[in-house]
Every structure is written in C-alpha cells, then in structure tokens.
Amino acid sequence: MLNYIIVPALSYGSQLALGAIFVTLIYGILRFANFATGDMMSFGTMFAVLLTWYFQSLGISLGVLPTALLTIPFAIIMMILYMLIIDKLVFRYYRIKKSPPVQLAMVSIGVLFVTQAIVRIIIGPFDRRFFDGERFILKANEFKEMTGLNEGLTIKSTQVITIVVTVIVVSILFWFLNKTKTGKSMRAYSDNEDLALLSGIDPNKVVMITWMIAGVLATIGGVLYGLDKSFKPFVYFNNMLPIFAAAIVGGIGNPFGAFLGGYVIAFAEIFITYAYKKFFMYLLPESLEPDTLMQLLSTDYKFAVSFSILVIVLLFRPTGIFKGKVL
Amino acid sequence: MRQYANVITAYIIMIILIILVGVFQSWNVALSILNFCLVSAVMTMGANIQWGYAGLINFGIMGYTALGGLAAVLISVAPVQEAWAVGGLDMIVCLGIIVGMVFSIRYVLKKIQKSKKRNYIIAAIIIFGLIVLRIIAGPATEHIEAVDPAKTGFLGGLGMPILFSWIVGAFFAAGLAYIVGKVALGLRADYLAIATLLISEIVIAVIKHEDWLSRGVKNVIGLKRPVPYEVDLQNSTWFIDLVEKFHSGKLKLINSLAERQDVLNQLVIEASSVYVKLCLAGLFLIVVIILLIITQKALYSPWGRMMRAIRDNDEAANAMGKNVVKEHLLIFILGSAVVGIAGAMMVTHDGLFTPGSYRPMRYTFLIWVMVIVGGSGNNFGAILGGFVVWFLWVEAAPIALFLINFFTSHLPETNALKIHLINTAPYFRFLTMGIGLLLIMRYRPKGIIPEKIVKQ
C-alpha cells in the first residue's frame, strides 16, 4: 500500500506541484494561461541533461547523489536568460498593448512551437536517462530483513530527492512571497494592477522577478521529473495537461492552492487506477479473495481521471478548491 | 472586383506552389498535399465558425476529429458476427442502462427540490449504475476482444458505404459538442480553452482503450473506399488505354516492344495512384465548396450579423433580446460538426484508423495556427490558412534540408554539426510554424486575409 501508492504519489505530486505553481504565477501576474509550460520545463531539463553529460565526461560527480543536482543552478541561469529573451521579444509587446488574455494564450502557443522545435533540434526527440548515483535508498529485501514483514518496501532515491527538494523550494518561495518586500509587491500587482502602479511598484521589475521565479520552478520541476522517470520532450509536452489540472483544481492564481492541487491530482490518479487485489488479500479471509485485479479503472485512464476531476471542479467551483485569496 | 484582388492572388500563388511541388517532386506528393489541404480547410472552417463568428475558443478539435474517424469505422466496417453473438446483447443492455441512468437523474432533478436528499439519490443512482455496468460489461468486453484478436476483436460496424460516415461523423461530433457545450460554455475564455483541451484528451483515452468499440491502439486497417482501388485500375483495359493515349508521344520514342511494355507498366502504376488521389480530391473539393457556400451565406445573413454582435459585445446583444447562451451552444455544435466531417474525411483518405496518432500538437494547435494565420472571421481566409500552413508543415522539412545542405556545403560530409542538423531537419517544421504564428500575430493580427464587414 505504502509502497505503490503513497510514495509514488508524493513524488509525482511534488513534480506536478512545482509545475502548477509555475502556471499559477504566470497566470496571476502576467494574466494568461501559458500553454508553453511543459516545453519550457523540457527546455530547462535539456540544459541539465547536456551539462550532466559534460560533467560526467570531466569526471565530476556528487557520489551517491545524481550529478544532475549539481547542474541545476547552471541550467536555471540558462533558463532564466531564455525566458527573459522570450518575454522581451514576444510577450512584452502584448502586455504593453494590454491585449486580452486569449491573445496572449495564442502567442504562448507560438512560443510552444518554437521551444519544442529548439529542444528537438538540439537534443532530439528520444528518451534520455541521465540518472546516476545510488538507485535505491531502501531495497525490498533489506526492508524485509529489517522489519520481518513479508512484503517489501522500496524507496527510490529519486523519490526522496524529489520530495526533499520540493519542500525546500516551495518553503523558500512562500517565505519570499509573504515576507520580503519584492514578494509583497508581486502579490499587490497580482491583486490589483492599477493600484499597485499608483503606489509606485515598478511593473517591469515585478514581471522580471516573476519570470525568474518561473524559470527556477520550471527547471527544478523538469529535472526532478526527468530524474525520476526519463527525459523525453513529448512526455513533457503531455505533462502540461495534469499540471494545468492541478493549477485549476487548486484555484488558479493561488500558489498554495496549486501546491496542494498537485498532490490532489497525483493521489487521485494513483488511488483510482491502483490494483487493490493485494490490499484485499490481506484484509479478507482466503475464501473471499478476489480473483480480478480489483482496479476501479484501468491504468490506461490515468490522465482521464485527473481531467475528469478538473471538469467536475470547473463545473461546481470554477474558482478552485482554495479560492478567496489571489496569489 | 478589386476588393477581391488580394484573395484571388493568394489562392493563385497557393495553386502555383502545389503545381511546383508536382513538377519538382512528384504528382503523387502534390496531390496528397492538396488532399490534406482540403481536409485541413474543412477543419479550419469548423474552428472558424466557432472562433471567427462567435469568439468561442475550442481547443478540443482533436476530440471531434477522432470521433469523426470513429464514425468512419463504425459505419463502413462489416459487422463481426461472432463478436455480436458473444457480447453484442450485453453491450446493448449497457447502453440501455446508461440511457436509463441519464433519464432517471433528469427525473430526480425535476421532481425533487434542491436538497441533500436529492444529492444522495443522484449519487446512489450513479454508483449503482456503475456497478451494474461493470458486472455486465466486464465479461462482455473480454469475450468480444477474445474473438480472433489478431484480426477483429471488436464489434465491427454497419457495413455501409463509407461516404455515409461523413454525415454520421458530423452527428457524433455534434453530440459530443452538445454535452461539452452544456458543461463548459459558461466558463471564461481561457478556462474554456483548457477545459475543451482536456475533454478532448479524455475522448482520445476512451477511443484508445475501449478495444471492443474501436480496436484501440491495435488500429483498424483496410477501410472501404468511395473510389476505385489502384490494383483494380491497373488491371482494367480502359485505364491502361487511357494512360497509353496520355503518354503516346513519349511511348512512340521507345522502339523495342518489351521495353515499351515495361515503361507503360511503370506509368500505369504511377497513374493509378494519381487517379485515386484525384478522385478523392474531387470529393473533398465538393465538400469544401458546399460548406463554403453555406457558411458564406450564413455569415452575411441576419443570423451571421447577430453572431458578430454577440462576439463583439455580448452584453449589448443580450440587452437587445438575443439569447446569448443558446446561440453560443448552437454555434459550438455547428462548428464541431464540421470538424467531425473533416475527421471522417481524413480516415476515408487514409483508409485506416489509428487512435494512437491523435495528438494535440497536430490536431488542435496546428489547426489553430491555420485559423489565426489565414484570418479569423473570414471563410476564404480560414481555407487559405489551411492550405498555407499544411503546405509549410509538409514542405518545411525538405526546404530545411535544402537550406542546411546549402549553408554547410563547405563543410566535409563527416562534420558532426552537419550530420546533427540533417538528422534534425524534420523538427524545423515546428520552428517554422511557431515563428510564422508569432510574426503574423505581431504584424498582421487579423491574418493574411482579414475579416471584411460588408455594409449595406
């Protein structure tokens, strides 16, 4: 139970949560739905992968930890540069013109195409694994020996890294948004743009900081996902959809909601498609043992589950679960 | 006439480009580009009805296309008798249960006051229905899928001519659009975009994994065609005579009889596939022209003016007594139905249905690029957008390859950069699309052929 539901759901949820905060920040401050989310994440991850290969060829490593963690800061710098360039060349024009959000969303589709092309031209569309270091923290056999139970518990090191890194990043982010002056000015800008401008907040600075935070989140989220599974541009593009679902379920424009939304989506996906056969085998006497897998829905419908949740939330509570507070 | 000059020039340029492809690459390629341009044009017309006429954003085009394709399968494939024998009845019962559930929920909604009790009753109906469905459908799907899984393993269709599916596809898509529209049309523009995108993903997931219905990722191949097959053509005398007459000048130059026969055989094989594609192009062209006439009439009718009024200021239109919600739903259904026709046309053209190939990049975002680039709100613009964008999408890779070779011609063949670039040439199509879209949105936000409001 713990093995196949809670641990994977926590790590998958963390990856979604980072992406969802990214979406929600862009939505709250720049006021458009960014369809290029998944590909921006793959763009950041691409640099991490390339640098990991470079470091590996130089012989630099972190021992038991994956080398990719070392490359994240460099990848983040590249990513922020890319985002600022994109903003300067593309989004700024529409922001100053005060175009409607739909137009900005269309523009972000253009960015989506370009980013996807760049990633595929540089690194190719293939599946890449760039994980190195220790694979497991806890192996099934060791756990059995330690506790004497007859079911194994496996924890991959990537899962632990994912959860730890997410917690650190998200707490720094919330500290930044709630306690520092820049963070407060960002929240003010998101609440009421005109009022914020009147009280002397520099819009250019707010937008720049937003893109920088977005770059950090996108890169870290992307690298963590890539470490846990593998790096493949097409998969990243598809990940955009559950990320959007998480952001909206949590209440778009609300980072805390997005953070929780990521976990809601991840747990729902895994709970509903989990095969409960083993679970019932332990609970029920042998005569009642189920002969099917006892899945509520087959695993094929993993994505469909999260989208159905989203549709239901949109219907009954369009502002998301955690409404009220904007950013 | 002068006001149409730019439209006519744009279309002439497009036709010349396709003819150039025919001359330089091959007529086969040119015609398949033309066919897909026509299919894309139908899709863009559908999207344009929603976006250009009414300002409704629909990112679920992929779902409606796939439903159109499904219609083609369900109409044209011959029914699988054994599968019907083992599981058909159960499936019909299931359908009946679903209908029963919907009606009982509607009944409860109407009869009982809004209260906790009502919610519990509805929840009970849904859960009970799902359990019954599972008990009946589970074994039935297994039986159906077990029937000769390598070839059939699904219920099959009605065995009717595939042309009917173009209409049925429209009805399928319209049905889905009715449900989606009822659910999602009240949302704000960007929420609507995301919701429709995700709903279309759900549709694809269902089509992909319900093997008893659509064979899922095992694909359905060898669908019937409304036009003759190449093999039949190659064996029929009238066709060979026709090719001989067409190429008589060329054939006369060859003296030996055996050699002449060889060349003729080659020509016949090539001509047969060109002929098939020409027939399809004719059919597609008829659809495009019919749709164009209807949409053009609708755009300049009082109804079209009302739609534009709702698009530009829905509050004012509402104040004038127009039912905005109803009209939005209507236009959402109409646009989706047109996209459904295109989906069925595409499967007809390919002769196979591959649920795994439906991806949002190709079937949703690309269509949107077509609408924006061509000019939203203008049918001629939308069709042109379909032509231009599809042409670039196909030809971007060869052009990129040519440019790469040209610019790196001084480098040796073994240069790593050159090899890498040549390997990645197919992805330049994404780059072309993205940059094209960004440039158009920036410098010509109304598209190549902007919307024209005729004042009377």
Distance CA B256, CA B364 (A): 55
The interface residues of chain B toward chain A in range 308-367, judged by CB-CB distance below 8 A, are 361, 365
Do B369 and A109 count as a contact with CB atoms less than 8 A apart? yes
At residue A138, the pLDDT reads 62
Instruction: Name the percent of chain B lying above pLDDT 70.
Output: 97
At residue A200, the pLDDT reads 86
Residues in A touching B423 (Cβ below 8 Å) = 124
Q: Judge whether B428 is closer than 8 Å to chain A, CB to CB.
A: yes
Are the C-beta atoms of residues A143 and A152 closer than 8 Å to each other?
A: yes
At residue B62, the pLDDT reads 93
At residue A137, the pLDDT reads 65
pLDDT band for A79, please (50, 70, 90 cuts): very high
Q: Judge whether B209 is closer than 8 Å to chain A, CB to CB.
A: yes
At residue A298, the pLDDT reads 65
At residue A283, the pLDDT reads 56
Mean pLDDT of chain B: 85
Q: What residues have CB less than 8 Å from A26, skipping those under 6 apart?
A: A32, A34, A37, A210, A214
**Residue B395 pLDDT greater than 80, yes or no:** yes
Strand, helix or coil for residue A155: strand
Question: Left, alpha or beta for A60 (phi > 0: left; psi -120 to 50: alpha)?
Answer: beta
**Residue A63 pLDDT greater than 70, yes or no:** no
Chosen from B192, B198, B217, B393 to mutate, greatest number of chain A CBs within 10 A: B198
**Residue A101 pLDDT greater than 50, yes or no:** yes
Nearest CA distance, B333 vs chain A (angstrom): 19
Residues pairing with A155 in the sheet: A138
Q: If you measure CA to CA, which chain A residue comes closest to B185?
A: A315
Q: Judge whether B107 is closer than 8 Å to chain A, CB to CB.
A: no
Spatial CA neighbour of A138 closest among A11, A10, A6, A3? A3
pLDDT band for A278, please (50, 70, 90 cuts): low
Domain A2-316: assigned CATH number: 1.10.3470
Q: Judge whether B416 is closer than 8 Å to chain A, CB to CB.
A: no
At residue B168, the pLDDT reads 92
Strand, helix or coil for residue A25: helix
**Residue B188 pLDDT greater than 80, yes or no:** no
Q: If you measure CA to CA, which chain A residue comes closest to B58?
A: A102
At residue A108, the pLDDT reads 92
Strand, helix or coil for residue A50: helix
Counting one residue from A and one from B, how many pairs have CB atoms under 8 Å apart?
115
> For chain A, which residues make up each domain, given as ranges?
2-316
At residue B215, the pLDDT reads 77
Q: Among A185-194, A244-253, A295-304, B422-431, where is mean pLDDT lowest?
A: A295-304
pLDDT band for B333, please (50, 70, 90 cuts): very high
By CB neighbour count within 10 A (0-12 exposed, 13-18 middle, 19+ buried), where does B178 fall?
middle
Which tens digits make up the pLDDT trace of B340-358? 999 999 999 888 888 888 8
Q: If you measure CA to CA, which chain B residue comes closest to A121?
A: B424
Distance CA B29, CA B385 (A): 20
Distance CA B284, CA B302 (A): 29
**Residue A326 pLDDT greater than 60, yes or no:** no
Which tens digits make up the pLDDT trace of A113-159? 999 999 988 887 777 777 766 666 666 666 666 665 655 667 778 88
Instruction: Name the percent of chain A lying above pLDDT 90.
Output: 21
At residue B251, the pLDDT reads 73
Over residues B209-222, mean pLDDT: 77
At residue B85, the pLDDT reads 76
Record the tokens describing residue B38, joined without a space.
Answer: 């026509």
Which tens digits make up the pLDDT trace of B274-295? 888 899 999 999 999 999 999 9
Give the up-direction half-sphere exposure of residue B413: CA atoms within 13 A in the CB hemisphere.
0
Computed over its alpha carbons, how large is the radius of gyration of chain A? 21
Highest mean pLDDT among A124-133, B185-194, B243-252, B440-449: B440-449
At residue A147, the pLDDT reads 61
Do A114 and B434 count as a contact with CB atoms less than 8 A apart? yes
Mean pLDDT of chain A: 81
**Residue B11 pLDDT greater than 70, yes or no:** yes
Record the tokens describing residue A233, joined without a space.
Answer: 């541009």
Q: Among A37-46, A124-133, A264-273, B66-75, where is mean pLDDT lowest?
A: A124-133
- ipTM for this model: 0.84
Spatial CA neighbour of B429 closest among A120, A90, A91, A34? A120
At residue A217, the pLDDT reads 92
Do B199 and A298 count as a contact with CB atoms less than 8 A apart? no
Which tens digits make up the pLDDT trace of B96-150? 888 888 888 888 888 777 777 877 888 888 888 888 887 777 777 777 777 776 6
**Residue B30 pLDDT greater than 50, yes or no:** yes
Q: What residues have CB less than 8 Å from B29, skipping those under 6 apart?
A: B21, B22
Do B199 and A307 count as a contact with CB atoms less than 8 A apart? yes
Are the C-beta atoms of residues B198 and B116 closer than 8 Å to each other?
A: no
**Residue A280 pLDDT greater than 70, yes or no:** no
